Amino acid sequence: MKVAHVSTFPHMKCGIAFYVSDLIEALPAVEHSRYALHYGTNITADVAGHANVSRPSEMRGLARRISQSSCDVVSLQHEFGIWGGPDGEHIFPFLEQLTKPVVTTLHTTFGSRERSTVRSSILARLVKQSAVTVVLTSHSRNSLCENLGAERDSITVIPHGVPAIPFSLPPPNWASLTEGGRTCRFCSVGFFRPGKGIETVLHALRSFRDSGFSFEYVMAGEPQRQFAEQERYLRDVNQLVSELRLAERVRIDARFLTRLEQIEVIQNSHAGVFGYQDPDQSSSGTIPLVMASGRPVICTPFEFALAKEREVGGVTLAHGFDAAAIADALTRFITSGSNYLQDSRRLHERAGHWAWKTVGSAYATAFSEARAWRGSGRT
């Protein structure tokens, strides 16, 4: 089978770029071709084609090139920010010229409250034109069916994949404060961008500190340089660390980390902390990476975190999205009295079914369905 992948790729240094690279590696029996999306910089070399997503004419040309190729199926990765235009609407000229069967992976679906008219129309068009639509959670599938009228049998849930990660003993566990306990180590990994709630986490950590708890917090990752607001966000976060007088407890490692470097940061910590502010946040590559590394997570109650809690546990959920709720979740985590080492081992084992080998098999089935889809009557 020949599959054409349309996505960003690692030169762009974004989460979806690494997702599609892991997917390709998980399917060694498939013949892959790569078609790269970019903003005029960090252009991936050695691809079958590429397009500047800011130029609709290039999007049309890319789709025509793929349609004239010998591929059997197109694997399309979708997140609004990688397709160009204020709402990602430059995907429309691409879809208008594409004639091959499509398997679309929707990394962001949003809830009905968050979708603009344009975004809703993009999702509706993608679901209609795709032989198979892949989402990362059951909630996303339900949302597409309820709000966009999608056919349930055309939506497939495939969890975000993770690499095979050997279990590593966590840092020495903390004891209660009354016993002069050790420091609890937290981390956040991934790209800096507004909406992740990092500033809210910092306010929560100040309250956590003022309650007498000892901790260290590492934020590891860089802004995506193609988006100016992410550079500004990083500056704002640095300033906030100083304003909250957290510099002795918070370290920002603002650079691109390899997967192995991310895992090292995670396994040198006791837990990951994720403060996403959108209740309908439906994807994350870093949360399953933390959990597959054998470390629990502390999260605001957004869709993806809720899904992971239902699947394998290991998630301490805040009872809201503000700093007070996150501080309460941190306190509940550190005072739970559970057997942390035993729980970490169990989490590592349970998260094993997200391995890319398993995820790749699910995609192989989806690609086979798409190849047979032409002429099925669905349009």
Mind listing the pLDDT tens digit for each residue in 264-315? Answer: 999 999 999 999 999 988 889 999 999 999 999 999 999 999 999 999 999 9
Complete edge-to-edge strand list for the sheet that includes strand 315-317? 250-253, 215-220, 184-189, 271-274, 297-299, 315-317
pLDDT of residue 375: 43
pLDDT recorded at residue 379: 38
Top-ranked range on mean pLDDT: pick from 3-17, 54-68, 279-293:
54-68
For 320, the 3-state DSSP assignment is: coil
Lowest mean pLDDT among 17-26, 180-189, 250-259, 337-346: 180-189
Give residue 226's pLDDT. Answer: 63
Q: Following DSSP, what letter does each residue of 330-368 receive, concatenated? A: HHHHHTS---HHHHHHHHHHHGGGGBHHHHHHHHHHHHH
| 169, amino acid identity | L
Q: What is the rounded distance in angstroms from the CA atom of residue 228 to the CA atom of residue 246?
A: 26
Q: Give pairs for 53-56: CB < 8 Å, separation 24+.
A: 53/82, 53/83, 53/84, 53/85, 53/90, 54/84, 54/90, 55/84, 55/90, 56/84, 56/90, 56/93
CA-closest candidate to residue 314, choices 269, 345, 281: 345
> For position 374, what pLDDT does the model report?
61
pLDDT at 230: 77
Percent residues over pLDDT 90 in the chain:
73
Q: Which domains are assigned to the chain? A: 2-161+355-371 (3.40.50.2000), 177-354 (3.40.50.2000)
Whether residue 104 contacts residue 134, with contact meaning beta carbons closer than 8 Å, is answered with: yes
Mean pLDDT of the region 31-35: 98
Lowest-pLDDT range, 30-34, 123-127, 255-259, 312-316?
255-259
Mean pLDDT of the chain: 91
pLDDT band at residue 176 under the 50/70/90 scheme: very low
Give pLDDT, residue 111: 66
Whether 113 shows a pLDDT value over 70: the answer reads no
